Structure 1
């Protein structure tokens, strides 16, 4: 068993994450192991990966996600992950573990979760949210091309520390679409093919230089297509909890009880320290590059 760091947690696992996650010598937070999973997971969700819709199962202490033909994953008490491999290669299992599965761990640990991307700009973090195709991953890639660290391209974890919101850095690898590679003039020879298909590539940031401590959250931007009727404006604080709830990255069946109450409380706290805006995304890669060049928190 080896130890790695992701989302601020030390993962002890039998899977090789070398080159993707930094090694850790800290006390184990989450144990990941292979095993047989008997709990049923047959409730359809909106979660899709590789074109396969995940099915959900919930018990008093466990959450189970099942992707037919890939694997079943059981997360317990925010501390353990058991996976049953149903025919996938190790790279695919890594991909699924580092997406919604690790998201379930963070959910059970009480973090506010968002489906979006986040970048480190100066000493602070900017988060970009949006419906599929809104441009959040492409926007993050443009910041990465400009030399900024991409903290995450899919799952944003926000934690309140001493009453202030911080983005928890995920890990140094992020995905980039083929059209983004071409549009941003990224050197394709330096990229790896993604396990999600031929239209995506993996960008590997330096494992040793990737931030390992929480980054203060300064701005959240809701991205909309250029032809949207939405106006560029600031979201009112009282509207923030509902707007952020629209971008919950896990099955909506989990939005109940204490987590839902905490989400509303945390979202209101975020508005005290970070601006929340809505913005029509830049139209075209030249406009996006200019947006990154002129970006500021003011």
Structure 2
């Protein structure tokens, strides 16, 4: 068993995350073990990975998340993940563990979660949200190409510390599309194919310099396509809870009463210190590069 760091947590597991996650010597926060999971998750979700729709179950013992023919996962108490492999290779297991599965664990630990990307600019973090195709991952990649750190490209975890919001760094790899590689002039020969599909590639940032501590949140930007009727303008703080709820990254079955109450309270707290805007995405890669330079 080895220990690794992801989302500010020390994970203890026999799976090999060397080169993907930083190693950790801290006390274990999360145990990841293989085992039999006889209970079945039978409620379909909107979550898809590798073309397979996930199913969820919520027994009293925790939360089940299953991709049939790939793997089953059981998450309990924000401290334990058990998986039953149904034929997946280790790279695929890592992909699923570091996406919705660890998202459910962070949900159990009370973090504020968003489906988006986050980058570090100076000493602060900027978060980009949007519907699929709005450009959040490409925007994060443009910041990465310009020398900034991409904190996460999929699952954003925000922690409130003394009522101030901080983005928790996920891990050093992020995914980009083939057209982004061409448009931003990445060197494709240095990239690995993503286990998520042939049209996505992995960018590996240096493990030694990837942030280990939460980064103060500066802004949240909701990106919209150029043809959207939305105007580029600030979002009023009172509207923040509803607007941010649209970008909940996990199965909607988890949006229960207690979580919704906490979400609204935390969203209002975040809106008091971080700017929240909506923006039509930059039109083309040259405009995107200019956006990054002037951000």
| Normalised-by-shorter TM-score class | over 0.9
Unmatched segments (≥5 aa) in structure 2: none
Alignment of 1:123-134 (within 5 A): 123-134=123-134
Q: Which segments of structure 1 move beyond 4 Å, counting only runs of 4 or more? A: none
Deviation (angstroms), 1:197: 1.3
1:268 and 2:264 equivalent?
A: no
Deviation (angstroms), 1:199: 0.3
Distance in 1 (alpha carbons) for counterparts of 2:64 and 2:207: 30
Alignment of 1:11-160 (within 5 A): 11-160=11-160
**Does the residue aligned with 2:19 lie in a helix, a strand or coil?**
coil
Deviations, residues 68-113 of structure 1 (Å, cap 9, x unaligned)? 1110010000000000110110000000000000001100000000
Distance in 1 (alpha carbons) for counterparts of 2:6 and 2:111: 14
2:292 corresponds to which residue? Answer: 292
Distance in 1 (alpha carbons) for counterparts of 2:73 and 2:117: 24
Deviations, residues 197-223 of structure 1 (Å, cap 9, x unaligned)? 110000000111000000000100000
1:176 and 2:176 equivalent?
A: yes
Distance in 2 (alpha carbons) for counterparts of 1:85 and 1:283: 43
Distance in 1 (alpha carbons) for counterparts of 2:61 and 2:169: 26
Alignment of 1:107-256 (within 5 A): 107-256=107-256
**Does the residue aligned with 2:287 lie in a helix, a strand or coil?**
helix
**Does the residue aligned with 2:150 lie in a helix, a strand or coil?**
strand
Distance in 2 (alpha carbons) for counterparts of 1:148 and 1:51: 32
Deviation (angstroms), 1:250: 0.2
Deviation (angstroms), 1:49: 0.9
Deviations, residues 229-255 of structure 1 (Å, cap 9, x unaligned)? 100000001100000000000001101
TM-score norm. by structure 1 comes to 0.98
TM-score norm. by structure 2 comes to 0.99
Deviations, residues 134-173 of structure 1 (Å, cap 9, x unaligned)? 0000000000000000000000000100110000000000
